[in-house]
Amino acid sequence: MRLRTLSLLFLTLIVLASIPAVSVLARTASTQHNYAMQETAAATTEPTCADSKLVDEISTDAKDLGDKLGTVASTGAGGVYSMMIDIANTRLKYEDMDTPSDLGCSYLVTETIILFANVADLGMVEMGSKLGLDQDMIAKNRQVVSDRLDKQVEKVNNLIKSDSAK
């Protein structure tokens, strides 16, 4: 169970680290499979962020967190606690950053903050598991947080302009 827990958290951070690649794949699939929806969406296009430096910074931070996850001990809550501190510090970096003047990039920073908060929520659930708390409650919350995290990754991907996701 502990390995599954770490695997889920690791997978989440790998997803975060692959934000530009996922964005490109999602946009390609959208183009190939649903031209009608894409045409409608073009009429009501949401702003996107073309700042490749910002996108790279977010991707690098997510990858760094994913790499650190590999060093988390499989026993005890200390490793999860340490990881949660790293996630919080990364989130705070974006909270403290000057708001980009570009609307799409401003949205991207906001959604990135929410994304890292959702990753921390998953860490809290895993902390409960490490502490041996109610497993039924943990399973329910793990699913809720995981679903919310998936939706947030999609929101972040949608804000990354394809040109910057190279």
Tens digits of per-residue pLDDT, 14-28?
444 444 433 333 333
Q: Note the pLDDT of residue 18.
A: 41
Distance CA 161, CA 141 (A): 32
Note the pTM of the prediction, 2 decimals: 0.70
165 or 123, higher pLDDT: 123
Distance CA 11, CA 7 (A): 6
Mean pLDDT of the chain: 75
HSE-up of residue 69 (Cα within 13 Å, Cβ side):
26
HSE-up of residue 105 (Cα within 13 Å, Cβ side):
16
- Domains of the chain: total: 1
Residues 15, 124, 146, 117: what is their CA dihedral angle, to the nearest 10 degrees? -60
**Which residue range(s) make up the domain with 133?**
2-164
pLDDT above 90 (res 73): no
Q: Which residues contact 14 (CB under 8 A, 6 or more apart)?
A: 66
pLDDT in tens, 101-138: 999 999 999 999 999 999 999 888 888 888 889 999 99
